[in-house]
């Protein structure tokens, strides 16, 4: 385009962690187009994140609650241009069906002809955040090398204070969060019995309160953890009880956070919470949390396999000990 677009829609990634890792790219875009009205269009499960204070700083957020109606939602926005962060053919097709004149994205998955400005994909293995920055650079914009940044809004913090109070956690408590699940598959989950062991030591040795977070699908893992805890050691189990904005508020209250490779891991990192990240079948070189965090791996011949379920003995995750995780968390809890 000879001039900056007046109205730009950015189609956000479909995974929560990827949406967080796209924040530095969106920050660069915001700086490059100060006079453009920028709307972030995201799946309804992701969109609430952008209603908190993020470095993306959008002017508006569009929640896509029905993928079949995405093209119509985009058409109703009367956008001049669309920046497509997902690499799918469908995202480019929907933008074209919506009648958006300028369509920008990576030239992937046979969609080159659907794009008006196509950027060549980076070669080799690159971190997801670097990938999104490469797209912004490829479009001719200056980029800012930064970390994902986010903070909970006051109304979110107030909701979380009330939630924690119902679980007998007051505002002065030092809180350590645990995310024992992972949407991608069971292979990414560290054994619940070891999570329980770390919680026991955090409560008894570091005198902190502990909280479990996750989606409804993680409830079984939460029950296993609670069942494995010895008498007298309590954890606040919020799994399946928070919406996305409440999750952000809970994470913002944490002094440290333990997580598998998950969206919650990236949220905590963006909120400035020290993360102990446990990686098994996935590749920490591509999806590790950005910033000063502890990334724990146990190198075996078969990782990273990227499988949802381990076909053998889950050795990549079982090789990470409770002692190693506790040591990392304990070092982050300043007395």
199 in a structural domain = yes
213 in a structural domain = yes
Rg, C-alpha atoms of the chain: 21
| Same-domain status, 307 and 271 | yes
317 in a structural domain = yes
| Same-domain status, 175 and 143 | no
Q: Are 93 and 110 in contact (CB under 8 A)?
A: no
CB atoms within 10 A of CB 80: 18
pLDDT average, residue stretch 139-150: 93
| Same-domain status, 213 and 120 | no
Q: Strands 37-43 and 117-119: what pairing?
A: unpaired
Given 130, 150, 170, which residue is the final one in a domain? 150
pLDDT at residue 1 tops 60: no
11 in a structural domain = yes
Q: What is the pLDDT of residues 33-68, one digit of tens each?
A: 999 999 999 999 999 999 999 999 999 999 999 999
**Residue by residue, what is the 3-state secondary structure of 18-86?**
HHHHCHHHHHHHHHHCCCCEEEEEEECCCHHHHHCEECCCCCEEEEECCHHHHHHHHHHCCCCEEEECC
For residue 28, give the CATH number of its domain: 3.40.50.2000
| Same-domain status, 16 and 165 | no
Number of domains in the chain: 2
Q: What is the pLDDT of residues 200-249, one digit of tens each?
A: 999 999 999 999 999 999 999 999 999 999 999 999 999 999 999 999 99
pLDDT average, residue stretch 131-139: 96
| Same-domain status, 58 and 128 | yes
Given 127, 150, 173, which residue is the final one in a domain? 150
| Same-domain status, 174 and 81 | no
pLDDT at residue 317 tops 80: yes
Confidence of residue 335 (pLDDT cuts 50, 70, 90): low
Residue range of the domain that includes 52: 7-150
Which has more confidence, 146 or 18?
18
Confidence of residue 300 (pLDDT cuts 50, 70, 90): very high
> DSSP letter string over 209-259?
EEEE---GGGHHHHHHHHHHSPTT---EE-TTS--HHHHHHHHHTEEEEEE
| Same-domain status, 185 and 97 | no
Mean pLDDT of the chain: 95
The rounded distance, in Å, linking the Cα atoms of 32 and 134 is 14
| Same-domain status, 188 and 313 | yes
Given 150, 168, 196, which residue is the final one in a domain? 150
| Same-domain status, 35 and 181 | no
2 in a structural domain = no
Rounded to 5°, angle at Cα 95 from 93 and 101: 120
| Same-domain status, 226 and 160 | yes
């Amino acid at each position: 385009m000879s001039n900056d677009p007046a109205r730009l829609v950015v189609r956000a990634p479909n995974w929560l962690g990827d949406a967080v890792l796209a924040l530095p790219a969106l920050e660069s875009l915001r700086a490059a187009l100060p006079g453009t009205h920028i709307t972030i269009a995201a799946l309804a499960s992701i969109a609430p994140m952008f209603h908190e204070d993020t470095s993306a700083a959008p002017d508006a957020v569009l929640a896509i609650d029905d993928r079949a109606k995405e093209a119509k939602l985009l058409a109703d926005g009367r956008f001049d241009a669309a920046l497509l962060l997902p690499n799918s053919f469908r995202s480019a097709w929907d933008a074209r069906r919506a009648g958006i004149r300028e369509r920008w994205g990576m030239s992937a998955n046979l969609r080159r002809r659907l794009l008006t400005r196509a950027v060549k994909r980076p070669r080799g293995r690159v971190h997801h955040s670097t990938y999104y920055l490469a797209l912004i650079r490829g479009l001719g914009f200056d980029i800012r090398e930064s970390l994902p940044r986010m903070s909970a809004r006051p109304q979110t913090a107030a909701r979380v204070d009330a939630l924690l109070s119902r679980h007998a956690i007051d505002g002065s408590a030092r809180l350590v969060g645990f995310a024992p699940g992972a949407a991608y598959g069971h292979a990414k989950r560290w054994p619940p019995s070891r999570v329980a062991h770390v919680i026991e030591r955090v409560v008894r040795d570091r005198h902190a309160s502990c909280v479990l977070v996750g989606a409804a699908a993680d409830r079984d893992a939460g029950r296993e953890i609670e069942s494995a805890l010895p008498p007298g050691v309590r954890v606040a189990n919020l799994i399946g009880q928070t919406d996305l904005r409440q999750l952000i508020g809970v994470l913002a209250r944490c002094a440290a956070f333990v997580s598998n490779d998950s969206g919650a891991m990236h949220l905590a990192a963006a909120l400035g919470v020290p993360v102990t990240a446990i990686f098994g079948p996935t590749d920490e070189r591509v999806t590790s949390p950005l910033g000063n965090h502890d990334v724990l791996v146990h190198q075996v011949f078969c990782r990273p396999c990227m499988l949802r379920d381990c076909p053998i003995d889950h050795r990549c995750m079982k090789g990470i000990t409770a002692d190693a995780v506790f040591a990392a968390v304990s070092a982050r809890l300043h007395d």
